[in-house]
Structure 1
Amino acid sequence: MSSANPSVQRPLTGNMLWLAALVLAAANFMVVLDTTIANVSVPNIAGGLAVSSSQGTYVITSYAVAEAIIVPLTGWLAARFGTVRLFVGSMLLFGLFSMLCGLAGSLETLVLFRVLQGLAGGPLMPMSQTLLLQIFPKQKAGAAIGLWSMTTLVAPIMGPILGGTLCDQASWPWIFYINVPIALGCGLLGWNLLKRYQSQTAKLRIDVAGLALLMLWVASLQLMLDKGKELDWFGSPFIVGLAIAAVVGFAAFLIWELTEAQPIVDLRVFRHRGFWASVLTISLAFGSFFGATVLTPQWLQGYMGYTATQAGYATAMSGVLAVMVAPIAAKLSTRLDPRKLVFCGVMWLGCVTLYRSFSSTDMGFWQVALPLLFQGLGMPFFFVPLTGLALSSVEPAEVASAAGLMSFMRTLSGAFATSLVTTAWDDKANYNHAELAGMVDSGGDALRALSGGGLSDGAAWGTIEHALQTQSIMLSTNQIFWLAGLSFIVAACAIWLAPKPGRVADTSQAH
């Protein structure tokens, strides 16, 4: 057993308190940042490693899936090794795997190290929140949650900007190298400042079978979604095998977890209608949001002539108003029916995304960025009250399990949506190209005009083909935005499946 018990430790005060708070906030900021910093970097990574952009998105999905899988294990890891040891160990491992990501010379090794980076980073979000609440006096708990929430909101804004700038000014490995000094500094400072808060440890049994089944079906399904297009979907025995493994693994996982006394994922919380309705809403809405967010910089860099930095600034616009409106959303969520706030927030996201489905190739920067800026108004009214609604729907003893499960589903939906969006984007572009090809210059007028302007037949055909490809991608992008907008609207309606909450939940365990 560890000798220190946080329950008898006094909260920190003065400069020590704010230094420790800065360390914990920086840790949370870094992990959340890494979920978006690679979004604008995918074209650079794909070019540097000589793979397609759709394969480059494996860098995003591998990290998200690994992070999702480890979240349900956080409670067991904290009990086994202690909260402070887990936090510091995760920080140092995150820094190590970040460095290895930057050194990777092939897509396979980069994806491997991104998986390990995700596994190391997963516990840092809940642990940073838990330790913040321990080091702050009870009367300042609101300040602790506010600080943690602000880093969670600001990091996704900074990710695309920082990723784009580093790719343009240095090279893509620097989006990973930048984590190394932060992780090392936070790890060492964190141990010195927080070791007195080390929790008691115990040798608890772990649901090994449940963990193995969880990894089996999640990994099989994600790999199927990532590799399906490349291997011609169910024309490939490998994809068929992955599909069978995912279905059988998921069925076995459900049966095992519902009958296990100490399950790794407590699926029994789904018996609460308010909880499953909230999880359904957040899965649909976050998948739509994250899929569109991953697609935007690829479209801007690949077909609109944007640099990584310019694409980063445009993408980051969605978080600017979100940060400003978040305190208002938090206040209103304690006074109004949260279902109304969630419905309005998600419906707003849907309407803006539907508006974006009328984009064109001659749009300027602000025509791209302004809809994203105003989209941010809806984000806090989606995340903040939805978390409270979900956790108020379960028993007090189930809040920690419910929060972990909600985080798992949110992260997983983002990974799945990324694969589905990039695959559908390519497929629809190919279909649009084939449709447009039969309609373009059937009389040969454009070819003759270009040839008359001094271009050779080959150069003239190349010009026509470039215009054809650009329009095909634009149509495909709009079609994806249209589908994402409809998904938002379905998610907004799904929240009414939840009953009106009867109590206010303690959301301090949400992550």
Structure 2
Amino acid sequence: MLFPASHRVGNCGGTDFPTSSKLPPGRFPTLTTTQANSVQTQATQPPPLHGAKLVFATIAVSMATFMNVLDTSIANVAIPTISGDLGVSVDEGTWVITVFAAANAVSIPLTGWLTQRFGQVRVFVSSILSFVLASWLCGIAPSLPFLLVARVLQGAVAGPLIPLSQAILLGSWPREKSATALAFWAMTTTVGPIAGPALGGWITDSYNWSWIFYINIPVGLFAGFVTWIIYRHRESPTRKPPIDVVGLGLLVAWVASLQILLDKGKDLDWFNSPLIVALGITALICFSFFLIWELTEEHPIVDLRLFGQRNFLGGTIAISVAYGVFFGNLVLLPQWMQEYLNYRSVDAGLVTAPLGVFAVILAPVVGRILPHSDARVIATVAFVLFSMIFFMRAQYVLEIDTFHLVLPTLLQGIPMALFFVPLTAIILAGQPQHRIPAAAGLSNFVRVFCGAVGTSIATSAWNNRTILHHARLTEQASVNNPAFNQSIENTQTLLHMSEPSARALFDFDVTSQAAMMGLNDIFYISAIIFLAIIPLIWVTKSTKGAGGGGAAGAH
């Protein structure tokens, strides 16, 4: 096990959640110390489920998790198709991914308050049904603005799904079998990212991109119906906790401003645009007030005081930056394959799918060795392997075959298995019991938000580097250059083309090469970043002997 029994934490799909239920009677976590209200008084804990009820409950709750995790990756390979159908650029189509992640990140801190106010089961089932509705709206979207609004709704209502699914599932199994419950939960959250690209590509090519959202409807209805039937009499205690309205408003304001700035910046020439300047000022002011307010508020929506701890600060920054780099590259790769290598959506999905093979195989191994090892060593090995894989990708050429595309993706599953759990152990090591949910929730918020920011930055950087390389490659492409004119004439003769067609072919070749060189730059920079953030891991204290994480002692 990764953690002592009283502080066991599951980690998969990026969400951490305590399984402890030992708080003094009558004492409830505050808004900042609850991610999903799984910490309850021992006397009010419902008895475990048994037999067929436990089987159906596990399936239903896991399917809800699978549905949510699947939607974080299923749209990646469909972005070029969605962009073409809606008449927008691929860069604009990428907002479909970033707005979902940003809205999801903002809604995570609200999970604790919602659960205390309405109960775990009601919030969980309501989130499932709302997710189904949002998925239907995504499927019928006639334009990009409509689709983006639907994706914001989808991301917002998905916030409670992963933490609550873990809490509800752990409460359904006997305490001595909590590891088995987490194993079932982890299987669905691991399979989701693997199946997403391949499934999304197959649906997009065989039917219509709308069906990547429509498939959530039957899954969600089944999960919601079964969950309500089984759990409606097992609701958690409720009360009326205070909510940090000002903090929430400031959080939404600076996150939204920053995300729009990153998504629209390259189209509006960055700070030469008054709109981008206004968004930048708004984000800066709201973030500054957010910091001041949250550090002085009695019941802050985000407990920023946690950043005063070495392990939390170093671990959270490391896992968040690494995830942002990783996810940004995961979005770019299938787009490049479809745009410049003429891969179909399903083929691009199949190339990225092997990412999870080693992640699934090695995850249990990491769980066994982590309590007896220094998590910092394991995380360092993961970052070195990530860097090596990105250096491999930085050697890509336009003539690359499928095997050399798949190989780095397959190998990337190894550092994936060594990545999340050790860093989560570092983040939570030494936390007193009542602060574990707050630490898990805040680190998860930062990580998910960095995923959205990383995607926007990677997309902008690729676009800028492509433009730069295109300009350099065409410096000698002038009618005053005899060599260039001779090349165009040779193309006309060999391919029986007109001069405009020959020039168009030349421009296409140059653009493809420039895009390849730009992507290689992103891979190379990503490799450097993974090496550069290794010192953050070693700023933290060793977790060896603390169960890999858990409350080894209060700060």
TM category, shorter = over 0.9
Q: Compute the displacement of 1:440 (Å).
A: 5.3
In 2, distance between residues paired with 1:66 and 1:438? Answer: 43
In 1, distance between residues paired with 2:45 and 2:294? Answer: 36
TM-score by length of 1: 0.97
Match of 2:295 among 258, 280, 302: 258
Output the amino acid matched with 1:449.
N
In 2, distance between residues paired with 1:238 and 1:8? Answer: 52
Q: Compute the displacement of 1:174 (Å).
A: 0.4
Match of 2:532 among 473, 490, 510: 490
Please list the CA deviations of residues 15-53 of structure 1 after superposition, one character each: whole Å capped at 9, or x if unmatched: 210110011111111111111111111101101100000
The residue that corresponds to 1:322 in the other structure is: 359
In 1, distance between residues paired with 2:488 and 2:268? Answer: 36
Query: Are 1:42 and 1:56, in contact at CA under 8 Å, matched by a contact in 2?
Result: yes
Query: Are 1:358 and 1:478, in contact at CA under 8 Å, matched by a contact in 2?
Result: yes
Q: Compute the displacement of 1:102 (Å).
A: 0.4
In 1, distance between residues paired with 2:470 and 2:45? Answer: 68
The residue that corresponds to 2:392 in the other structure is: 355
In 2, distance between residues paired with 1:226 and 1:280? Answer: 22
SS at match of 2:311: helix
Q: Compute the displacement of 1:5 (Å).
A: 9.7
Counterparts of residues 295-310 of structure 1 (less than 5 Å)? 295-310=332-347
Q: Compute the displacement of 1:332 (Å).
A: 1.5
Match of 2:492 among 407, 431, 451: 451
Are 1:231 and 2:268 an aligned pair? yes
SS at match of 1:376: helix
Match of 1:412 among 449, 460, 466: 449
Output the amino acid matched with 2:116.
A
Please list the CA deviations of residues 92-113 of structure 1 after superposition, one character each: whole Å capped at 9, or x if unmatched: 0000010011001110010001
Match of 2:103 among 66, 72, 78: 66
Output the amino acid matched with 1:37.
I
SS at match of 1:171: coil
SS at match of 1:245: helix
Moved more, 386-395 or 415-424: 386-395
Match of 1:340 among 377, 402, 405: 377
SS at match of 1:451: helix
Please list the CA deviations of residues 174-225 of structure 1 after superposition, one character each: whole Å capped at 9, or x if unmatched: 0100001111111111000111220111111100000001001111000100
The residue that corresponds to 2:515 in the other structure is: 473
In 2, distance between residues paired with 1:65 and 1:376? Answer: 25
Q: Compute the displacement of 1:271 (Å).
A: 1.2
The residue that corresponds to 2:284 in the other structure is: 247
Output the amino acid matched with 1:494.
L
In 2, distance between residues paired with 1:503 and 1:325? Answer: 22
Counterparts of residues 19-38 of structure 1 (less than 5 Å)? 19-38=56-75
The residue that corresponds to 1:111 in the other structure is: 148
Structure-2 change in CA distance of 1:461 and 1:360 (3 Å): same
The residue that corresponds to 1:503 in the other structure is: 546
Query: Are 2:397 and 2:516, in contact at CA under 8 Å, matched by a contact in 1?
Result: yes
Unpaired segments ≥5 residues, structure 1: none
Are 1:78 and 2:120 an aligned pair? no
Match of 1:162 among 199, 205, 213: 199
Query: Are 1:275 and 1:394, in contact at CA under 8 Å, matched by a contact in 2?
Result: no
Output the amino acid matched with 1:205.
P
Match of 1:462 among 504, 509, 515: 504
The residue that corresponds to 1:198 in the other structure is: 235
Match of 1:401 among 428, 435, 438: 438
Unpaired segments ≥5 residues, structure 2: 1-40
In 2, distance between residues paired with 1:7 and 1:337? Answer: 37
Q: Compute the displacement of 1:439 (Å).
A: 3.9
Please list the CA deviations of residues 435-457 of structure 1 after superposition, one character each: whole Å capped at 9, or x if unmatched: 00014584133212112222211
Are 1:172 and 2:214 an aligned pair? no
The residue that corresponds to 1:148 in the other structure is: 185
In 1, distance between residues paired with 2:353 and 2:285? Answer: 40
Query: Are 2:358 and 2:417, in contact at CA under 8 Å, matched by a contact in 1?
Result: no
In 1, distance between residues paired with 2:303 and 2:350? Answer: 40
Output the amino acid matched with 1:388.
A
Please list the CA deviations of residues 462-486 of structure 1 after superposition, one character each: whole Å capped at 9, or x if unmatched: 2211111110010011011111111
The residue that corresponds to 1:120 in the other structure is: 157
Query: Are 1:98 and 1:177, in contact at CA under 8 Å, matched by a contact in 2?
Result: yes
SS at match of 2:229: helix
SS at match of 1:183: helix
Match of 1:367 among 404, 415, 419: 404
Query: Are 1:78 and 1:86, in contact at CA under 8 Å, matched by a contact in 2?
Result: yes
Output the amino acid matched with 2:515.
I
User: Aligned residues, how many?
Assistant: 504
In 2, distance between residues paired with 1:152 and 1:333? Answer: 20
Q: Compute the displacement of 1:146 (Å).
A: 1.4
Query: Are 1:277 and 1:498, in contact at CA under 8 Å, matched by a contact in 2?
Result: yes
In 1, distance between residues paired with 2:343 and 2:43? Answer: 51
The residue that corresponds to 1:93 in the other structure is: 130
Instruction: Tell me how large the CA RMSD over aligned residues is.
Output: 1.4
SS at match of 1:172: coil
Structure-2 change in CA distance of 1:176 and 1:5 (3 Å): farther
Query: Are 2:338 and 2:345, in contact at CA under 8 Å, matched by a contact in 1?
Result: yes
Query: Are 1:272 and 1:393, in contact at CA under 8 Å, matched by a contact in 2?
Result: no
SS at match of 2:372: coil
Q: Compute the displacement of 1:278 (Å).
A: 0.3
Query: Are 1:6 and 1:197, in contact at CA under 8 Å, matched by a contact in 2?
Result: no
In 1, distance between residues paired with 2:322 and 2:533? Answer: 6
Output the amino acid matched with 2:529.
S
Moved more, 95-104 or 435-444: 435-444
In 2, distance between residues paired with 1:65 and 1:32? Answer: 15
Please list the CA deviations of residues 331-355 of structure 1 after superposition, one character each: whole Å capped at 9, or x if unmatched: 1111100000000012101110111
Structure-2 change in CA distance of 1:41 and 1:6 (3 Å): farther
